[in-house]
Amino acid sequence: MNDAEETARRLFAMAAEDVPPGIDLLHGVRARSRARVVRTRSVVAVGAAGIVAAATVITLSAVQAPSAFAQVSRAAALTAATSYQVSETQKIVAAGGKYSQSWTTASGEFDPARGVGEGTDNLGDQIRFAGGYAYRFVTAALRTASGRKIGGAIPAWASWERLASPLPPGANATTAQLAALARRPAFLSLIDPQDMLALLESATQVSAAGAASGPGWTGSAYTFGVTFSAPSAPAASISGTVDVDAQGRVRQLTVLDSVGQTERNLEITFGDFGLPVSVSAPPASETFIPPTP
């Protein structure tokens, strides 16, 4: 085991050597210390305001909240049932905004009623949904990782890999779907918009946030929050905003997820509703189907 220990030491050194530029630990510590003082001073004021706000929410919810909830829920269901084009941007904002990094962009088209769709991202990943399965294109990066036995070995002849679990038909928000969202495989940067619409449909904390508009449409904005749980994990929550057009369809969905001071920001834009989508499964001769674990 001594050889293994020495190898581990070398591998760990390599894994920790590419420190990203721009990290200023001392600056971060000072900023956090100042923020803590301000936060402590604000607690009393926020607490008092919170009581007033809570009373206001209770009063308003009897009149307005069901309407906002109904609007958003209906928009998510309506959008999830029609075909559309989608574009996505994921960003990571780290260390309290000290530096921001654009992560990935992706686009695609989906026809949920027929269970077909496809998407690509700026990393070269491709995914297709057809026949109740998802297929991902085997990129050089994915093959490299596979060769190292992470994610399962993919044979050299395969251009596509069928994901092991068949996708559930439709877009019902289930715990399994949400958990699957959390376990999305590496090398698959496109977030399934149907998953996100299902998540939106299950949102319980919805509030109107004024008017919204975009190229060729006008509508209303809402804020929402969702709390859900995945197997063997504590409950988690995310929040975001959604723009709904005058026809009651989701136009823009922004989801904010945070871990410590690292924030993940996902923006999904929907459009071109009703377009014909023609996608078929990759040829069987080019598709690797991993054995069921």
Partner 1 sequence: MRRDSGIEERFAAYVRERGEHHLRVAVLLTGDWHAAEDLVQASLVKLYRAWPRLDTAADPDAYLRRIMINTHRSWWRARWRREAPAAALPESSCVEDIADRQVLGALVRQALAGLPRQQRAVLVLRYCEDLPESEVAWLLGCTVGTVKTHAHRGLRALRHLLGSEFDRYAVNETQGPQRDSR
- Backbone angles phi and psi of 42, in degrees to 5: -85, -10
Nearer to partner 1, 44 or 259 (CB): 259
Q: How many other CB atoms are there within 10 angstroms of residue 22's CB atom? A: 10
Nearest approach in angstroms of CB 108 to partner 1 is 17
Phi-psi region at 270: left, alpha or beta (left = phi > 0; alpha = psi -120 to 50): beta
Min. distance of Cβ 4 from partner 1 in angstroms? 5
Q: How far is CA 48 from CA 35, 59, 158, 268, 272, in A?
A: 20, 17, 62, 36, 47
41 class by beta-carbon count within 10 Å (0-12 exposed, 13-18 middle, 19+ buried): exposed
78 or 179, CB closer to partner 1? 179
Least distance to partner 1 from the beta carbon of 64, Å?
31
Cβ 23 to partner 1, closest distance in Å? 5
Phi-psi region of 91 (alpha: psi -120 to 50; beta: other; left: phi over 0): beta
Give 260 or 293: the residue with its C-beta nearer to partner 1: 260
User: Which residues of the chain form contacts with partner 1 (CB under 8 A)?
Assistant: 1, 3-20, 23, 25-26, 28-29, 32-33, 36-37, 92, 94-95, 103-104, 122-125, 139-142, 144-145, 147-150, 182-187, 189, 229-230, 232-236, 259-262
Report the DSSP beta bridge partners of residue 129.
Answer: 117, 134
In angstroms, what is the minimal distance from the CB of 208 to partner 1? 28
